[in-house]
Structures are given as structure tokens and as C-alpha cells.
Amino acid sequence: MRYLVLLLLLSCKTSATVTIGVTATADYERPTKAAMRLWNSFVGCDFFVPGKDVQIKSSDGTGVMLPEHAAATFQTPRGWEIHVSYPGDLHDQACIIVHELGHVLGLQDGAPFGAMSYECPDFIRIRDDDVAIVKARHCK
Ligand SMILES: [Zn+2]
């Protein structure tokens, strides 16, 4: 019985100390919510919340777009913007947004696997190293 209680405690999320507000246009609302949930559950607190710090929308050609990139993330005077240019399905869009939100968190490209690699596997995951960095900054 004591072990059961311990397991329940370990699975509880802690509170967020620093939150980041994210909003998306209607066409990216579902993959954005999925991406926020994925980050929050891997990291262990709800630090991505609805709000205006990061705006996610379709690429309108005004952002810096590199060839063969599915999206671009950059800072503007109004906050972060993620412009998605790849028209993939819900899973692909969620995977792309998970990756781009990683850039908002200061994570770099080129991880061997996980959200900051260039892969979109069936099961999207965030590496333990990245989780530790984000958790220290955003959760109690
Ligand atoms: Zn990237």
C-alpha cells in the first residue's frame, strides 16, 4: 500500500513557476494544443499555457524562411512568432510545433533523437537532458 501511494505522488505534476503563453490561429489550434500538452507532460508541469508570448500561424512569407525548413521561429517586438510552412497532417504539424517551441525554450537543433532532432517519429518524445533544463527553469 505504501508503494502505491508513492507511485501516485510521483505521477502528480508540480506547479509551473514561469509560464509561457501560446496562441495559434484556427488552422494550427489542434496541433498547437497537442504540442503544448506533450511538452507539459514530459516536463511535469503546465508551463505552456494559453496566452500571447508565442504566436503560431501559417507562414505568410514575411518571416525568415530557409529552404527545406518546415517552420521558422523568431523573436519580434511583440514576442515570439512561429511560422509553419509545411502542410502535413495533424501529427506532423504537432511534431513541427513541438520542435519550434523547443527553440522558444532556447534548445538548439541537432539532437541525435527526440524533439530537437530533425525526425518526426510516430512517438514524439523529448530527451531527458532537455526535460531537465526546462524543468529547472519552469517548474517548482
Ligand atoms: Zn530547429
At residue 9 the predicted structure's pLDDT band, cuts being 50, 70 and 90, is low
Residue 100 C-alpha to ligand 1 middle, in angstroms?
A: 6
Give the span between the Cα atoms of 121 and 1, in whole angstroms: 38
Residue 13 C-alpha to ligand 1 middle, in angstroms?
A: 28
Residue 140 C-alpha to ligand 1 middle, in angstroms?
A: 27
* Residue 60: per-residue pLDDT: 73
Residue 8 C-alpha to ligand 1 middle, in angstroms?
A: 35
Q: For 17-60, how does the pLDDT look when each residue is reduced to its tens digit (9 = 90+)?
A: 999 999 999 999 999 999 999 999 999 999 999 999 999 998 87
Residue 104 C-alpha to ligand 1 middle, in angstroms?
A: 10
Q: For 60-115, how does the pLDDT look when each residue is reduced to its tens digit (9 = 90+)?
A: 766 555 556 688 888 989 999 999 987 788 999 999 999 999 999 999 998 888 99
Q: What count of other Cβ atoms lies within 10 Å of the Cβ of residue 140?
A: 10
CATH of domain 13-138: 3.40.390.10
* Residue 119: per-residue pLDDT: 84
pTM of the model: 0.86
* Residue 34: per-residue pLDDT: 97
Residue 15 C-alpha to ligand 1 middle, in angstroms?
A: 28
At residue 120 the predicted structure's pLDDT band, cuts being 50, 70 and 90, is confident
Residue 3 C-alpha to ligand 1 middle, in angstroms?
A: 41
Average pLDDT over every residue of 105-128: 91
Segments making up each domain of the chain, as ranges: 13-138
